[in-house]
Amino acid sequence: MTLLLTGYEPFGDHTRNPSATVARELDGKEIAGREVVGRVLPVEFDRTGNEMEELIAKFEPEAVVATGLAAGRSAISVERVGINVADCGGTPDNADAEPRDERICAGGDDALFATIPVVETVSTLLDSGIPARVSNTAGTHLCNNVLYRTRAHLEREEMDVPMGFVHLPLTPAGAAEKAQDGEATSGGSVQPSLPLAMQKEAVTRAFETTVGN
């Protein structure tokens, strides 16, 4: 049995994306007796959903957790819901697409809930000493997109595969790099961060909570 984990490549003004590193580093590892397939998705509205569908067809995972970067958030955010909206919010995707107030799927459900145990995962993370929270919005960029599209795909195909999305904060190195552009040396603020090892543990626990130890 496999567990499918995806991260995203860097996008916008980010030169790195911890979700890609986590996916690469957990690829091939074992979690709860299953093999992790870790892959990095393109930050492109026209490609991401299709690539995810291909990965699901190829690896037939028992559970899917997609991840991405939410710079500025201070905790691991386990997303509750994906909405039927594509809006780049001023950050073009990596193919320069800039959707504004579009529907992901015309006539589709307004919103689709994640089917991993969202609340239980957050409780597990907090018990493990990892700052975490339920998030009620994954935004309207690619992170929301892959959550909504994958849930819609699994429902259409009548596949009983739990799927969810986890937003990761910056790493300390990422926060330091971002602070170079700001006023930190004059007393300005620095964005919150969590170490990569903790981010990896959070993703591991999310899978364990979903499929059992």
Active site residues: 79, 143, 167
Does residue 77 interact with ligand PCA by CB under 6 A?
no
Please report, as residue ranges, which positions from 23 to 52 form the binding site for ligand PCA (by CB under 6 A).
Answer: 43
Which 8-state DSSP code applies to residue 125? Answer: H
The answer to whether the beta carbons of residues 60 and 84 sit under 8 Å apart is: no
Does residue 64 interact with ligand PCA by CB under 6 A?
no
The answer to whether the beta carbons of residues 199 and 18 sit under 8 Å apart is: yes
* Both tokens assigned to 213: 């130890």
Does residue 207 interact with ligand PCA by CB under 6 A?
no
Q: Taking the complex as a whole, how short is the minimal distance between the CB of residue 143 and ligand PCA, in angstroms?
A: 3
- Among the listed ranges 29-37, 52-60, 68-76, 194-202, the one in contact with ligand PCA (CB under 6 A) is 68-76
Which residue, 168, 162, 156, is CA-closest to 108? 156
Beta strands 76-79; 2-8: pairing state: unpaired
Close Cβ partners of 65 (under 8 Å, ≥ 6 residues apart):
3, 4, 5, 6, 116, 163, 164, 165, 166, 203, 206, 207, 210
Please report, as residue ranges, which positions from 138 to 197 form the binding site for ligand PCA (by CB under 6 A).
Answer: 139, 141-143
In the chain, which ranges are continuous DSSP H helix?
18-26, 48-59, 118-127, 142-156, 172-179, 196-211
Closest to ligand PCA by CB, 17 or 210: 17
Q: Taking the complex as a whole, how short is the minimal distance between the CB of residue 67 and ligand PCA, in angstroms?
A: 8
- Among the listed ranges 66-74, 103-111, 177-185, 195-203, the one in contact with ligand PCA (CB under 6 A) is 66-74
Does residue 69 interact with ligand PCA by CB under 6 A?
yes
- Among the listed ranges 28-36, 125-133, 135-143, 189-197, the one in contact with ligand PCA (CB under 6 A) is 135-143
**Binding footprint of ligand PCA on the chain (CB under 6 A):** 8, 11, 17, 19, 43, 68-70, 139, 141-143
